[in-house]
Amino acid sequence: MSLRDDVLDRTDIVDLVSKYVDIKKAGKNRLGLCPFHKEKSPSFTVAEDKQIFKCFWCGKGGNAITFHMEVERIDFWDSLKSLAESASIDVSSYQKDPEKQAADKSVKEKQKLMNKRTQQFFQQHFPGSVAQSYALDQRGLSEATIGTFGLGYAPDSYHDQIVALRAKWFDDNDLIQAWLAKTGKNSGETYAFFRHRLTFPIHDHIGNIVWFGARALDADQNPKYLNTTETAIYNKSKILFGLDKAKNNIKSYESLIIVEWYMDVIALHQHGLPIGIATCGTALTTAHTKLISRHTPHLIFAFDNDSAGFEATIRWLKVAYEQDLYPKVLIFPAEYKDVDDWLSATQKNTETRNQKQEVMETDRHPEGGTTEGSSQDQATQDNEEVWKEKLKEISVDGFGWVIGQYQIRYDLDNPVERKKVVQNLFELLSKIEDYSILQMYFTKVAKELSMNEEQLWKQFRQWIKKSSVRNSTYREEEETRPDSSSKIAEKYLLWALVHQWFALKLWADNAIYTKYEVVLKQLAQYFPTTVLAEVYSGSLSPSTQESLVEAEMFWELQVADTESDKITSVVQQFLHQQIYKLQRVVMKSKKLDHTQKQELLAKIRGL
């Protein structure tokens, strides 16, 4: 068997989908809200017996690999590797020479391998380097933290990295495309992009190294952090630094913390909070929030204690609200600039207390009495519980925090400043689609600003009309879902009609089907290359089989909340439409002579 077949054979689609979607039993299939578009009534169906899924609104469907690719927004090979790992399948056993194959493959596969080899190169040069001294001595990072995040050193050399990658089947053009090298304007010589810098491998959410962060190590070295344009595998608007590590800890800590930069993420991990993520030098995007929402709805913002951090919080709350995420804000003492400063100070205080405690314990038990290994796991578990409770204490609802900051930063007795605050809050509220949450926040604004809530709503409606902001909750646009009269219903009913075993399941009175089957069979004889002929010959192509399976899944979805008399009415209406279409097909056919047309039309008109 191929790797693809083995992965599909050992991956249960119900188990896979259940990690992302709440699907409930509906007949022999399972039904839930589609993860690929917003809907209020479920149209996303999973057929356990056939190991496929189908959304009968947006049209997405396929097998376990297809679903994983769509929901994680990754390519086929990444999905295959990830699912193979989950199923304990050794991918290398299916390849003769994985590295050489990857080097010869697509640009994306080539860049993934180049980045992997570059990371090994940087790590080889890290021990004894100035980058190691900076990480250990100036930043106070532990060896364990350095290893977890794979920090490395790009040596102060123009060519060492280039030579190392050339030895791995990559040419200079490959390196330039991946932004690992540049070409000199005058000399035309290829030289390394990263030189004399502390490096941070940037992973996508499934663990591929997609690029590198690089920090200057000298005071006069500019820029401080080296960035780049996008490559085939690196898109800043879709990558969250640290998510590949943090996602495994979400369940324990029940949240994700989003901070401003790489070092803040690493600091969180260093101090017992391995749930930090950061954007890669860009603002929070819709793609980021969609990625986050697939892992958890519990998000905490922890930005710098300054005006820039305040403005960033408001901007990012707007993006989060549009994706139905309602982040909290972490409150840490104002004397600390950022999370890293605060945690470092906390650690120093903790270490001082621990040292005093150890002295006391030694005085009490001079011969010892505890086992380091057994106490370490317990300490980790205790740390998780302590931090989980502490996060609840020091984080507040984002919208409430914004109101509080406006009260501190603005003079609300000044009409001009008060008007500005109200309009800013309206802009934030306009991003919220959940009416119950919108109502809760309106009540909060009215209370904190001493306003009449009814008048506040009236003012908000006027603001909506004047502004270009579209608030779907306020306008209350109803979702339309596929029903019996839609084109999608016609499509699947037609498939049902031309397949006898399924059609007989639709009506208790088989005579209804038999009446139309006469004409359908004759059309199949006259048009041997059509799907009708394929069905009646009993030789179904894979695409036809797939359509029939979808028809059955759709029928179960429809019949779940449709009365029998309505079904009969819809079917009869649909059949009459098809009869009209069949007449036109027969009339225009060049395969039938005049006599054949007249005979067939007479039978069609008699239905």
Rounded to 5°, the CA angle 514-516-520 comes to 110
Predicted local confidence at residue 493, as pLDDT: 54
In terms of domains, do 243 and 300 share one?
Answer: yes
Phi, psi angle pair for 329, to nearest 5° = -120, 130
Structural domain of 433: 410-475
Report the Cα 177 to chain-centroid distance in Å.
26
Helix, strand, coil percent values for the chain (each to nearest 5)? 55, 10, 35
In terms of domains, do 73 and 134 share one?
Answer: no
371 within some domain: no
User: Which residues face 31 on adjacent strands?
Assistant: 24, 45
CA distance 292 to 5: 30
pLDDT tens readout for residues 161-190: 999 998 887 888 889 988 999 988 777 889
In terms of domains, do 191 and 316 share one?
Answer: yes
87 contacts 7 by C-beta, under 8 angstroms: yes
Predicted local confidence at residue 349, as pLDDT: 56
Predicted local confidence at residue 201, as pLDDT: 95
CA distance 423 to 267: 37
Total count of domains within the chain: 4
Report the Cα 353 to chain-centroid distance in Å.
42
In terms of domains, do 451 and 557 share one?
Answer: no
Token pair in block for residue 42: 């479920």
In terms of domains, do 116 and 178 share one?
Answer: yes
Token pair in block for residue 137: 């001595």
> Cβ–Cβ contacts within 10 Å for residue 145, how many?
18
Q: Which residues of the chain have pLDDT under 70?
A: 1, 94-105, 228, 347-382, 468-520, 523, 527-541, 543-545, 547-548, 551-552, 554-579, 581-582, 604, 606-607
Closest CA to 457 of 432, 414, 426, 417: 426
In terms of domains, do 121 and 76 share one?
Answer: no
222 within some domain: yes
In terms of domains, do 465 and 530 share one?
Answer: no
Predicted local confidence at residue 509, as pLDDT: 56
354 contacts 436 by C-beta, under 8 angstroms: no
Predicted local confidence at residue 226, as pLDDT: 84
In terms of domains, do 570 and 448 share one?
Answer: no
DSSP codes of every residue in 350-410: HHHHHHHHHHHHHHH-TT----HHHHHHHHHHHHHHHHHHHHHHHEEEHHHHHHHHHHHHS
402 within some domain: no
Token pair in block for residue 292: 């986050």
Q: Supply the DSSP symbol for 214.
A: E
DSSP-derived 3-state class of residue 36: coil
Report the chain's terminal Cα–Cα distance, integer Å.
50
Domain final residue, candidates 68, 94, 120: 94
CATH number at residue 229: 3.90.980.10
Predicted local confidence at residue 117, as pLDDT: 94
Predicted local confidence at residue 239, as pLDDT: 92
Predicted local confidence at residue 359, as pLDDT: 45
Closest CA to 276 of 212, 218, 340: 340
Predicted local confidence at residue 306, as pLDDT: 86
In terms of domains, do 435 and 517 share one?
Answer: no
Token pair in block for residue 587: 């009339």
341 within some domain: no
* Pairing outcome for strands 328-330 and 395-397: antiparallel
Closest CA to 112 of 182, 226, 243, 211: 211
CA distance 230 to 466: 38
Domain final residue, candidates 94, 119, 151: 94
The amino acid occupying position 139 is R
362 within some domain: no
In terms of domains, do 524 and 470 share one?
Answer: no
Here the contacts of 80-89 (C-beta below 8 Å, separation 24 or greater) are 80/3, 80/4, 80/7, 82/206, 83/7, 83/11, 83/16, 84/3, 84/6, 84/7, 86/11, 87/6, 87/7, 87/10, 87/11, 89/3, 89/6, 89/7, 89/10
328 within some domain: no
pLDDT tens readout for residues 66-77: 999 888 888 888
Closest CA to 117 of 33, 174, 42, 41: 174
In terms of domains, do 252 and 115 share one?
Answer: yes
CA distance 327 to 396: 9
135 within some domain: yes
Domain final residue, candidates 320, 341, 365: 320
In terms of domains, do 128 and 228 share one?
Answer: yes
314 within some domain: yes
CATH number at residue 15: 3.90.580.10
